[in-house]
Structure 1
């Protein structure tokens, strides 16, 4: 628990440094591109169009899910995925890739995955903003339920950090962890209700197991906020408690592992 508290303190005390590093990383990532930061939005937009064409237009036709056209249903859920997938993949490599830059500095290493995630979060905010405008034009106007969108976006950030705090530590110790993370994320993507609705298509007990996937809760939360106009936090209070418990558990385990190996990172690298 002491390690957990120390990690939280490091994040709070380094808040402004995390923001500066995140903006600097965005400039580095896009310095050779003519469109610059715009690629943070354009790349997922192209993938969204591809998924809509294949799964919406090609396979599902003009089908609706919960009385919502498939393309809007898909856009609301997959917007979360593009952020959290990139955040976890890049955050998991943060300590291993950036350690040499800060090895001789008095630098809190838990900040390394944080600023990578924060950089991806800026792109996520811009993408969600564009999707909201598309929904407004299509007749899905702003409502009071947008308040919970802030909650789900913050929760997606915390989930990404809780996972990468652990995986970025383990990646330094065992390089294969990065490949495992990538494979697990691919599996969880297709097991989540991001591209398809599994309601009524499989036994109920299997559906209940799949609901334990944290990406299920986040994807449905985004849809409830943007399209369905319902308080998903309250309607699915059991899942709300479960997912917060999962995040806290991962933070505690990740904090313990981080502090256990922190002083030995140089040996592993």
Structure 2
């Protein structure tokens, strides 16, 4: 019983830290890395700046991709973050409605601190960016440093589990206290409506986004064949994230949010073709 209570408390800590304390993270970022900007309806703002990205404080911005499907961005949503990290022009177009209030974040500082971050966080950011920019048809694997600098040094703390073909690894709507690394086999990710989101192969990670952002699972994961999976518990993930600077933690949170709404745009496109 005590073990169960401790696990529950740990999950609540992560949820509060990463879902409810975004404002606290913003307050911890050095002032020369962050600036408040108010944009009146009659004013113009360039949201396609390589060395700056933005975070919505108040107001709404409509984002849309080449497929013309839209995603309404609101408070605490990033604008141009992924592109700033990799030095690309915006892949999305933006249209704002009325007055908006933003945070402007220093892109050079973000790139520098991400490059200096630990293997786990840097790996999550790297493969999340690849999922944002690249086709979802192929498995996006974790970079080699994830295994060499995180998995191997911590293997005594990590668990390996076997999932037989047809077994649910997790279901949509349930709380999450783990992330997963797929060593062998294939895993199918399904939306809450049982639509296929992706098929993951050897070397892929999954489950980390909802855990870090303090949310329940958006999707379900099904073993398509016999799988061997390394399980990374929440306390280990929390420990590694706590080692990072507030700017790195904020960037991690926002990159995962960007990936979430990119997946929404892609799913809308896929459904329209059915």
TM range (shorter): under 0.3
TM-score between the two structures when normalised by the length of structure 1: 0.26
More strand by share: 2
TM-score, L = length of structure 2: 0.25
Larger % of helix: which? 1
